[in-house]
Structure 1
Amino acid sequence: MSTPAHYAVGTQLAELGHTTLFDVLESSCARYGDGPAFSCGADTLTFNQLRGRADAFARYLRHHAGLEPGDRLAIQLPNLLQYTVALFGALRAGLVIVNTNPQYTAYETRHQFADSGAKAVVVLDKLVPLVRKIQGSTDVEKLIVTSMDDLTNPQYDSAEADEMRFMQALRLGDELPEVATERALDDLALLQYTGGTTGVSKGAMLTHRNILCNVLQAVSILKEGDVDYGKEVRISPLPLYHIFAFTANCIASVFTGFHSVLITNPRDLDGMINDLKRHPFTLLTGINSLFVSLMNHPEFDNIDFSRLKWVNSGGAPLNTEIAKRWEARTGSVIREGYGLTETSPVVVASTSKTPYKEGYIGQPVIDTELKTVDDDGVETPRGEPGEVLIRGPQVMQGYWHRPDETAATFSDDGWLKTGDVGVIDNQGFLKLVDRKKDMILVSGFNVYPNDVEDAVMRHAGIRECVAVGVPDERTGEAIKIYVSLTDRALDEAAIIAHCREQLTGYKIPKHVEIREDLPKSTVGKLLRRVLRDEARDEAKA
């Protein structure tokens, strides 16, 4: 696929003169140079310090590691300052980033490294044994190894000939000649792998233009006075290897001069609460399950939310009841967004410029077109559900080395098929109904799990809920819900009684299972697929 050149953000991009993502950092150094760019724990990098270290890393990559523009570099790190240095250094060197989840299994890591053809990896020291286990079936020739405390307790000595300590790479880079980036707007910047929830994980090919356009689109949702460039403090618990945090909390934050406070382990709620107390934060990015966990922490009401201007939710659907509870406790509204790995990722956002519509996410960002279609590809009327299709400058070029799957993902006239069922109203607001594959068919009626989950979550004693379909002899499928509780006195009968007050007959769950916790991905997304497969396996048995 190619990106049309007539979009308004394309004009903005031309005016900026940026041709690569590294130009974002270069430009921000001129504006915010000695201001804080990223903090993690007790350590902080200013924009100038980040640029200096990134430049040293770029010199190492090109002159010492022997990597060439277009080569792929995997980064397998949690939220650390080293991630930002490695990222911008690789971009400066003209490499293609392969974001890799540090919690991946050996199987998942092997697939991503082998599929991308990554020649080197920046990896946490404790993950080196995992990389060694699969290295022989990949093209990885160089391991650049860092530790959690490398900035305060730097390590320089390598254990093996094909290893290089991260801090030693920076030391070497400082002595090497400058490098030219040698990349253009339509060259690849990132291979961002899909979660694999609909099959094998695929590398979405995102160019510098795709991501730069999406940064401009994301920034466009802010009206004058919403934020002050160069003065905001953003708490960033979502992992930067995830596309939402990569674009919003990393690239866009550098573009706007925001000070991003990286949370390395958001599951350490005590630590995150301490960071929230320590920093005078004005912005927060999170996910539904994180908001739930924070509100259940005994110290939550002792956090100072008085400066909080903006809360973003992305990466998973935001539950309406959770949003209401958050606003009641903090006085701040959560603004939801919608996007995909394949769209860099922002497509739709709730903004201060648009009226709030309960149950709807928001309107498309600038220069983004949406429509819904039926199973035959015919556009559905406004207000009626259909598969959401997207067209815009942030849409990927296709899947890496998968022409057949690329072709199947785009319509003949160039629209990206999302696999999401949604409703677009007459004002262009999008409401997501569900993934097509998650829809439950009860006695011929379509039931969307999100509808059931929203109703269940209206009970104050329920912390989290996942609804799935299970085989049923009488109705074809029946609804089963998995819940975790804040009120341990609740039982199945009470939950069903609550559902009868909230839902029409065929939407009422037939089965309820109460659990201490529900399974989540490494970014905190509730794993409906895992529970659905588990429930269906039990039904077959």
Structure 2
Amino acid sequence: MILHSPSTIEHYTAAKLWGGRTLLDVVAAHVVDVPQRVAIVDTPDREALIGTPATSVTWSEFGKAVDAIATGLIRRGLKKDDVVVAQLPNVWELIALYFAVSRAGGVLSPVAMQWRETELRNVAEASQAQLYIGVKNFKGFDHISMAAKLGYATVAIEDVTALAAQAPDQALLDAVSVSANDIFSLCWSSGTESHAKGCPMSHNNWLYQMRLVPNTAGIQEGDRVLAPAPMVNMTGAVAWLSWLAARGTLLLHHPLNVELFLKQILTEKVQFTILVPAILNMILKLPNVDSLDLSSIRSIATGSAPPSRWSMEEFKRRWNIEICNLWGQTEGTGLVGGPVDVPDFAMRSEHFPWWGKPGLEWPSTMEGVQAKLLDEQDQECTRPGEVGELVYRGPNVFAGYYRRPDLAQNSFTADGFFRTGDFFIVRDERHIGFFDRKKDIIIRGGFNISAAEVENLVLTHPGVQEVAAVAVPDEIMGEKTCIYVVPKDKARLPTLEDIVDHLKQIGVAVYKLPEHIEYLDIIPRNPVGKILKAQLRQRVHASGA
């Protein structure tokens, strides 16, 4: 399945940013070069999650399993370009399925464990997928029965494990042709639409993306990578791409079990992981934080929301860990504020390298990416302080939403830049910074307030564990800021007055101060850690705050 236009393929191939190598070739090379190195270690709580024991596989075993599963899928009728839906937690078979389905000529479409009939029906309609791979029991829910009721042909995880132990048929596999421009995966973008949209990524898209984190975060040969995010979109991909680039060991985890996760960090000699800002803050606010030894970790990537400068500085001060600020989307776009391109640690939480700006060069050598900011009239923003929508073009960007040509006109500019839907601000002549989602800006009396900035400021209050900021309607000002707070100590709730006084003391502009407060036990988030702002806005309207 080739979806990129011939002109796009010709352009990036001529620029030597795309080639003929596939992700399957990368795995095959690792099998030859480091056959006995451990490739993947299951999450330790696998048996409690899905009822089968945790295991580990070497690169040699992983390569054989990929070929064996691919053989079994072909024998079950999988044909070239068929889409296969997989709904699995982070187990080693899910990683193998990415490559096995591709080896068989198909396209893997992983989905979140939390999805139910409505979402799976949309996936089936949008992708035309007929085969579903899942689990019979996950936290008391039978995913296989759900998929069967929707008309999918189903394969249980136990069957995939059994296939992996069979002998592969090399003649059968060699008859399947897979090119670097074929689609490798079909992940789904949550976005702001009523239905998720399919984001097809080719081998060449992913191979370019595989350079992004290693080139900017200092990933090294043989690194042990801890993967706590679900392997269903770009957040999870940061881990498996880094693992593949390093020929390393992938330590699986998910769904999040904080106690177990900390145990893995402390005992598994992890060099790299990815954590959402909320978990970074949680670790730093643990009662025993002073006794934690995280010295094996070289760098941590963080994304899904802007990190606080406080958390970045604390990880550096306590353990000499470099925090890499990632912004990215399932559509393939990505920017990294890491030690290579943004060495000034004080800048990194708010500055991304302005990749592709004419006249600038970067140590990461991320050539081919072009980023610019457009105002409401599609004019470029160039002066410090100007805010515009980030539009992005590069060899890592998908060809367009799967089977949705109706979205192309609004998704791309006339010159082929993807419209990200995120506002960025010009920081200086070399840097841009995330400002907010288009629909996540609070407009108070004509002033634009970044909800993310308010959240990071409120997090500096010692009594706040987590926070989310949303707009509440106001007859005079238009909107005001409401904060949802998870207190560190429920017996000593930080009041709105306490927080406002704290923000005034650290010098926050008056119009950014929150004017309403609500308390929660937990901030609602989607499977990759993004705050579900729509739920909180509805709650604000319902309460009449």
TM value normalised by structure 2: 0.87
Structure 1's 251 and 427: CA in aligned 2 closer, same or farther, altered over 3 A? Answer: same
In the alignment, the residues of structure 1 paired with residue 452 and residue 476 of structure 2 have an alpha-carbon distance, to the nearest angstrom, of 23
Contact preservation (8 Å) 1:391, 1:414? yes
Where 1:418 maps in the other structure, the secondary structure is strand
> Given the alignment, which residue of 330, 346, 349 partners 2:334?
346
Where 2:430 maps in the other structure, the secondary structure is coil
In the alignment, the residues of structure 1 paired with residue 524 and residue 496 of structure 2 have an alpha-carbon distance, to the nearest angstrom, of 20
**Post-superposition offset of 1:462:** 1.4
Contact preservation (8 Å) 2:97, 2:108? no
Instruction: Give 1:150's aligned residue.
Output: none
> Given the alignment, which residue of 101, 113, 116 partners 2:112?
101
In the alignment, the residues of structure 2 paired with residue 169 and residue 258 of structure 1 have an alpha-carbon distance, to the nearest angstrom, of 25
Instruction: Give 2:47's aligned residue.
Output: none
208-217 or 476-485, which deviates more: 208-217
In the alignment, the residues of structure 1 paired with residue 380 and residue 497 of structure 2 have an alpha-carbon distance, to the nearest angstrom, of 42
Contact preservation (8 Å) 2:337, 2:349? no
In the alignment, the residues of structure 1 paired with residue 337 and residue 155 of structure 2 have an alpha-carbon distance, to the nearest angstrom, of 37
Structure 1's 306 and 134: CA in aligned 2 closer, same or farther, altered over 3 A? Answer: closer
Kindly, what percent of the aligned residue pairs are identical?
Answer: 24
Counterparts of residues 492-507 of structure 1 (less than 5 Å): 492-501=496-505, 502-507=507-512
Counterparts of residues 64-463 of structure 1 (less than 5 Å): 64-126=75-137, 129-138=142-151, 140-141=152-153, 143-146=154-157, 165-172=159-166, 174=168, 177-180=171-174, 181-222=176-217, 226-230=218-222, 232-246=223-237, 248-266=238-256, 268-298=257-287, 300-343=289-332, 345-356=333-344, 357-363=347-353, 364=355, 365-383=366-384, 384-463=386-465
Where 1:205 maps in the other structure, the secondary structure is strand
Instruction: Give 1:160's aligned residue.
Output: none
Where 1:341 maps in the other structure, the secondary structure is coil
Structure 1's 449 and 265: CA in aligned 2 closer, same or farther, altered over 3 A? Answer: same
In the alignment, the residues of structure 2 paired with residue 228 and residue 219 of structure 1 have an alpha-carbon distance, to the nearest angstrom, of 7
In the alignment, the residues of structure 2 paired with residue 430 and residue 215 of structure 1 have an alpha-carbon distance, to the nearest angstrom, of 23
Instruction: Give 2:516's aligned residue.
Output: 511
Contact preservation (8 Å) 2:324, 2:338? yes
Name stretches of at least 5 consecutive residues in structure 2 with no aligned partner. Answer: 45-53, 356-365
Where 1:60 maps in the other structure, the secondary structure is helix
Instruction: Please tell me the residue identity of whatever aligns with 1:450.
Output: A
Cα deviation per residue 1:104-147 (whole Å; 9 max; x = unaligned)? 12212221233211121221221684443354545x22x1212x
Contact preservation (8 Å) 2:17, 2:368? no
Structure 1's 396 and 290: CA in aligned 2 closer, same or farther, altered over 3 A? Answer: same
In the alignment, the residues of structure 2 paired with residue 227 and residue 443 of structure 1 have an alpha-carbon distance, to the nearest angstrom, of 46
Instruction: Give 1:158's aligned residue.
Output: none
Cα deviation per residue 1:475-509 (whole Å; 9 max; x = unaligned)? 11111011112244222221122233342222211
In the alignment, the residues of structure 2 paired with residue 200 and residue 381 of structure 1 have an alpha-carbon distance, to the nearest angstrom, of 35
Structure 1's 199 and 429: CA in aligned 2 closer, same or farther, altered over 3 A? Answer: farther
Instruction: Please tell me the residue identity of whatever aligns with 2:518.
Output: E
Cα deviation per residue 1:285-324 (whole Å; 9 max; x = unaligned)? 2111222233344554444222221111123322222323
Instruction: Please tell me the residue identity of whatever aligns with 1:133.
Output: M
Contact preservation (8 Å) 2:104, 2:173? yes
TM value normalised by structure 1: 0.88
Contact preservation (8 Å) 1:360, 1:429? no
In the alignment, the residues of structure 2 paired with residue 73 and residue 129 of structure 1 have an alpha-carbon distance, to the nearest angstrom, of 19
Cα deviation per residue 1:173-212 (whole Å; 9 max; x = unaligned)? 5468541341222222111110143442110121111111
In the alignment, the residues of structure 1 paired with residue 376 and residue 212 of structure 2 have an alpha-carbon distance, to the nearest angstrom, of 30
Q: Is the counterpart of residue 45 in structure 1 residue 40 in structure 2?
A: no
In the alignment, the residues of structure 1 paired with residue 131 and residue 348 of structure 2 have an alpha-carbon distance, to the nearest angstrom, of 46
Name stretches of at least 5 consecutive residues in structure 1 with no aligned partner. Answer: 147-154, 156-164
Instruction: Please tell me the residue identity of whatever aligns with 2:61.
Output: Q
Instruction: Please tell me the residue identity of whatever aligns with 1:262.
Output: L
In the alignment, the residues of structure 1 paired with residue 149 and residue 168 of structure 2 have an alpha-carbon distance, to the nearest angstrom, of 32
Instruction: Please tell me the residue identity of whatever aligns with 2:400.
Output: G
Contact preservation (8 Å) 1:319, 1:454? yes
In the alignment, the residues of structure 1 paired with residue 124 and residue 32 of structure 2 have an alpha-carbon distance, to the nearest angstrom, of 36
Cα deviation per residue 1:388-432 (whole Å; 9 max; x = unaligned)? 110111111001111111221101111111111101334432211
Contact preservation (8 Å) 1:456, 1:462? yes
252-261 or 359-368, which deviates more: 359-368
Contact preservation (8 Å) 1:38, 1:81? yes
Where 1:480 maps in the other structure, the secondary structure is strand
Instruction: Please tell me the residue identity of whatever aligns with 1:228.
Output: Q
191-200 or 349-358, which deviates more: 349-358
Contact preservation (8 Å) 2:98, 2:185? no
Contact preservation (8 Å) 2:312, 2:349? no
In the alignment, the residues of structure 1 paired with residue 480 and residue 489 of structure 2 have an alpha-carbon distance, to the nearest angstrom, of 26
In the alignment, the residues of structure 2 paired with residue 219 and residue 187 of structure 1 have an alpha-carbon distance, to the nearest angstrom, of 24
In the alignment, the residues of structure 1 paired with residue 192 and residue 137 of structure 2 have an alpha-carbon distance, to the nearest angstrom, of 27
